[in-house]
Structure 1
Amino acid sequence: MDHQQVIRDVTVRLPMASTVAEVCQATVDALARYTPATIAVLLHVNGRLRCVAATGSWQVFATVAPDAGIVGRVFTGGLPAVVPDISTDPDHIPVRPDVTAEVCVPICDPAGRLIGVLDVQWTGPAELAAWRATAERVAGRLGARIMALGGPAESRSEKLLRHAAAMTAATTEWDLLATATRAARDVSALDTAMLVLSGRSGPQLSEPTATPGELETRIRAELAEAGPQALRAIVARAHRYGTGHTLGEAGHPPTEEHDPLVRAGVRTLVAVPLGSPDGGGVLLVAGERLLRPDPRTVNLLELLAGQAWTCLDRLRTLDRLREQASSDPLTGLRHTGPFGQRIATATPGRTALLAIDVDGFKTVNDTYGHQAGDRVLVGLARALEGALRQGDELYRIGGDEFVAVIEVSRPEEAVRVAERLTEAARRIGRTISVGVALPRPGESPELTLRRADQALYAVKRQGRDGVRLSAA
């Protein structure tokens, strides 16, 4: 084997490649001309060793953790590895069943910083010492050429995959929107990205998820001055005609819908519809420089917007399900589960429990039917909520049984709140009985509620429509 010829062949090929991926593939192809080995170049990108070029294997791992396998060991330690018998090395990652030996060397930039590894695996006899020396020389030339081309970097497709995984993992709508706008900026290389989402009063710009730049600040100001109709027009255009983008050509006037964006300084724009025309929105990706987004970038932003909307719809669905699981479907009040969690945090001497029972409710059901009874409960729930103070909480824990949890400074304050509730019930033609109890030091929440119930029953025995404070 003429190893000098191997070096010359690689040296000739490298300057002809114009991208990092082409450089790596040219190196693999050159080496493959001289040995029937499995060859791979892995570069360190975003915390992983990503396989950029490979040959000679039925399966290649797309990425490997920097501490996994012989490749990870070499990258972490910065020292070459020569393994004559891979069966004795527990770090070997099997990519084909007949591999017997492996040589792996680090790839460094001209300053000596690690940027990846060159890995070669054989299925038969090989001059491992000679191939180690050759691989090290090849890796040196490869590292220099990679850095001359800008160094290891993700492709836009790889960026999209990484961001899509982050959006899927988002647990809150705020996290999702932050990830989506960050991804749009990253994939497009434009200055800013914003989401316009449908709200109760029409399309609205989502709140900034980070400190907005100058362009975003100006866009928000112009759209706010233009009024809600401006956002409606932008959303309607995107949903009627599909994704739109500028061509980076000066001297062409914008359509009327985009006038506020132009006044803000936007010269490059991609507008991607989100979701349905009725309940969706639009992803706006904008820049101050006059650029021409290529079709592939626009397609990636469309994929990104689709993934963002799917994740947003999933989060909102989960929120609705959680709300349904914790709320009474008739009145919308929270019920037993959340109530138990709340009273578990009751502060002795400061938190009062108000047990509330509707007077004569069984008669309503028996005389007028359950639909009439449901109407009574809904009306009463709204009346009681309206009579409570900011921060007070109302729960429905049974058929006609409610409990209010309030924070007070003394028992008399709790009684006054209870009396406000009875007055609110009278205003809608109903009466209620209310028992009041404040937790004692060391008392369980269940016992506090039992004392409130006992006070309520005392009101019932005395004629209903009243308030009673449990003994301290």
Structure 2
Amino acid sequence: MLLDHTPPPADATSGVASAPTAVDACRAAVTALTDRTAPGCPPYPPDRVSVLLSVHDRLRTVASTGSWQTFATVPPGSGISGRVWSSGQPAVVPVVADDPDYVALRPDIRSEICVPVHEPGGRRIGVLDLEWTGPVELAPWRGAAERVAALLGGRIAELGGPPAESRSEKLLRHVAAMTTATNEFQLRTATLAAARDVSGLGAAVLLLPHPSGHRPVADDAGGELAERILTILTAAGPDELDRLVERSHRFGAAYTLGEPDRPATADTEPLTGIGIGTLITVPVGQPEAGGVLLAADERVSRPDPTTVNLMELLAAQAWACLDRLRGLARLRERASSDPLTGLRHHGPFGERMAAATPGRTALLAIDVDGFKSVNDTYGHQAGDQLLIELARALEGALRQGDELYRIGGDEFVAVVEVARPEEAVGIGERLADAARRLDRTISVGVAVQRHREVPEHTMQRADAALYEVKRRGRDGVRLAPT
């Protein structure tokens, strides 16, 4: 039996040392460790071997053999290999079924050894993973695995480090971040980060449609260059920005040719004036409602057309995600608001009352006087029109921060914050005056939430005050006992 001091297989030494690329070095290590005829190899070579190297925030499988499938990437901390990567400590697992982190890619695997791969300076760059289906003496193989890992780490360092993430891989990673964005701010941030990373340029800016014209936006990670671009685009004015957007949507993406001595077009001349040497512009969205994605740098270079193609894919994904977010926002708005008046209804009212301040939050229960007769006499269309007009009038009579809800057919409730109950009564009087200006009347019951009183009881007291107004002839405001 070979002991722990056994050197790595000779084939691993020669194959790894002469490999022309990091990927070839990983493949040579895998091949040598699974070669049952290799000299210097301990008995019972592993049935499955994988090399995973760190790429961005994950471990990527660079070379593997011995199973029908393998994971393309592994998150740090996931599985035994992810645990070894995170801890930097080797793992020797005689029975994988006893290890809660084990993730099976072959149902017959029995034992596993996983060791970190370091560069000579100590920087951890990946892991080497060995698995067996039958009984094996693991101690010699741990020594062999660690020596192959050291040899592999040294050769990868000589070759310049692990293989870089490709532009396509970058794009896919960023697209995932864009797709999971839950609001427009997160989406803009993810899009700008992706534009910088995929293009290799230092700054990215979005020109997005706005009611007052296109507006440039950037993020903090764009640095001082992005700030200068924002300043010059903001100073350019809406007409110039519209021309830049129109040109991009009319003719498509554009990029510089690394010829700074040539004159710039009128819409990009302000950017060359602040020292921009390289610029990619890509249309975003539809011509009638879209914008432009810009990536720029002070360095003078000629972008690869393939990079521009990836930027176009990025812009298309950004617009699709933006359209999805806005569609979801519209659905949420419809779900939380009354389709007739546009006021919020029961769900948002309950959420608002959950944040009420006892002693300061007042409820104003509002009922339209004689509304049934309007429907009976003039029809439901006239009744609907009356509710729309009343909703607008009542909202206009409220103060900034007061909220109005429609909670029934002709029933409304206002939630207001007041210093004293009389203030809430005054707001109720303003609402009644607003209704009178429409030649209608309303009855208003006011209740200030008591300490330790649940919102439902406050609403019941406001309703009771409202019915007292009805009983006394309608068209009035009454405060419930505090």
SS in 1 for 2:296: strand
Find the aligned partners of 1:383 and 1:77 in 2 and give their Cα distance. Answer: 65
Please report the TM-score for the alignment, with normalisation by the length of structure 1: 0.88
Q: Secondary structure at the match of 1:454?
A: helix
The structure-2 alpha-carbon separation of the partners of 1:76 and 1:176, relative to structure 1 and needing over 3 Å to count, comes to closer
Is it true that 1:182 corresponds to 2:182 in the alignment? no
- After TM superposition, the structure 1 stretch with the greater mean CA deviation from structure 2, 90-99 or 378-387, is 90-99
- Cα deviation code 1:434-453 (max 9, x no counterpart): 22121222322222222222
Offset from partner CA, 1:292-351 (integer Å, 9 cap, x none)? 222332232222222222222222111111111110111111111211222233323211
SS at match of 1:409: coil
Q: Do the aligned partners of 1:178 and 1:210 also contact (CA within 8 Å) in 2? A: no
Letter in 2 for 1:201: S
Partner SS, residue 257 of structure 1: coil
SS across alignment from 1:170: coil
1:271 maps to 2:281? yes
> Which residue, 13, 18, 22 being the options, matches 1:13?
18
On the 8 A contact 2:443/2:469 being kept in 1, the answer is yes
Q: Counterpart in 2 of 1:24?
A: 26
Report whether the alignment pairs 1:214 with 2:216. Answer: no
SS in 2 for 1:181: helix
Query: Pairwise mapping of residues 35-114 of structure 1 onto structure 2 (< 5 A)?
Result: 38-72=48-82, 74-76=84-86, 78=88, 93-96=103-106, 104-114=114-124
Give, in angstroms, the shift of residue 112 of structure 1.
2.5
The equivalent residue for 1:314 is 324
CA distance in 1, matches of 2:392, 2:205: 38
Give 1:73 deviation, angstroms. 5.2
Offset of residue 29 of structure 1? 5.7
Describe how 1:119-198 pairs up with structure 2 within 5 A.
119-121=129-131, 135-152=145-162, 153-198=164-209
Q: For residues 164-190 of structure 1, what are the alpha-carbon distances to aligned partners after superposition, in whole Å with 9 as ceiling and x for unaligned?
A: 222222222211211221122122221
Post-superposition Cα deviations, 1:120-163, rounded to whole Å, max 9, x if no partner, equal: 45678999777665544443232123234443343333322222
Which one is further off, 378-387 or 75-84?
A: 75-84
2:126 aligns to what?
116
The match for 2:469 is: 459
CA deviations 1:357-405 (Å, max 9, x no partner) are: 2222222222222111111111111111111111111111111111111
The offset of 1:49, in angstroms, is: 2.2
SS in 2 for 1:297: helix
Q: 1:261 and 1:39 mapped to 2: Cα distance?
A: 53
Q: From the superposition, tell whether residues 415 and 78 of structure 1 become closer, same or farther in structure 2 (CA, over 3 Å).
A: closer
Q: Which runs of 5+ in 1 are unaligned?
A: none
1:236 aligns with 2:246: yes
The SS at the match of 1:293 is coil
Whether the aligned pair in 2 keeps the contact of 1:334 and 1:396 (CA below 8 Å) is yes
Q: Secondary structure at the match of 2:426?
A: helix
Bigger mean CA deviation after superposition, 160-169 or 149-158: 149-158
SS in 2 for 1:199: coil
Greater mean deviation of Cα atoms: 278-287 or 51-60: 51-60
| Paired position in structure 2 for 1:329 | 339
Distance 1:388 1:87, change over 3 A: closer
Whole-angstrom distance in 1 between the partners of 2:226 and 2:220: 11
Give 1:82 deviation, angstroms: 6.5
**Distance in 2 between residues matched to 1:74 and 1:282, nearest whole Å:** 44
Tell me, in whole angstroms, the C-alpha distance in 1 between the residues paired with 2:286 and 2:89.
55
Alignment partner for residue 210 of structure 2, among 196, 199, 205?
Answer: 199
Structure-1 separation of matches of 2:479 and 2:76? 67
CA contact (8 A) 2:9 2:32 kept: no
Change (3 A) 1:102 1:453: closer
- Tell me, in whole angstroms, the C-alpha distance in 2 between the residues paired with 1:58 and 1:47: 26
Does 2:377 match 1:402?
A: no
Map of 1:288 onto structure 2: 298
Structure 1 window deviating more from structure 2 (187-196 vs 21-30): it is 21-30
The alpha carbon displacement at 1:56 in A equals 4.7
CA distance in 1, matches of 2:250, 2:128: 51
Q: Deviations over 1:255-282 (max 9, x none)?
A: 2222232223322122222222222222
Give the aligned partner of residue 373 of structure 1.
Answer: 383
CA contact (8 A) 1:215 1:265 kept: no
Computed over aligned residues only, the root mean square deviation of the Cα atoms, in angstroms, reads 3.0
SS in structure 2 opposite 1:399? coil
Shift of 1:76: 4.9
Question: In the TM superposition, what whole-angstrom CA distance separates every residue of 1:194-233 from its partner, at most 9, and x where no partner exists?
Answer: 2222223332223x44365221111111111111122222
- Pairing of 1:415-454 with structure 2 (within 5 A): 415-454=425-464
Residue 3 of structure 2 corresponds to: none
Q: In the alignment, residue 436 of structure 1 is paired with which amino acid?
A: V
In structure 2, how many angstroms separate the alpha carbons of the residues matched to 1:451 and 1:176?
46
Higher mean alpha-carbon deviation, 85-94 vs 313-322, is at: 85-94
Kindly state the Cα deviation for residue 96 of structure 1 after the two structures are TM-superposed: 4.2
What is the one-letter code of the residue matched to 2:338? D
* Structure 1 stretch displaced more, 47-56 or 376-385: 47-56
Distance in 2, Cα, partners of 1:439 & 1:3: 79
Rounded Cα–Cα distance in structure 2 between residues aligned with 1:277 and 1:77: 51
**TM-score, L = length of structure 2:** 0.86
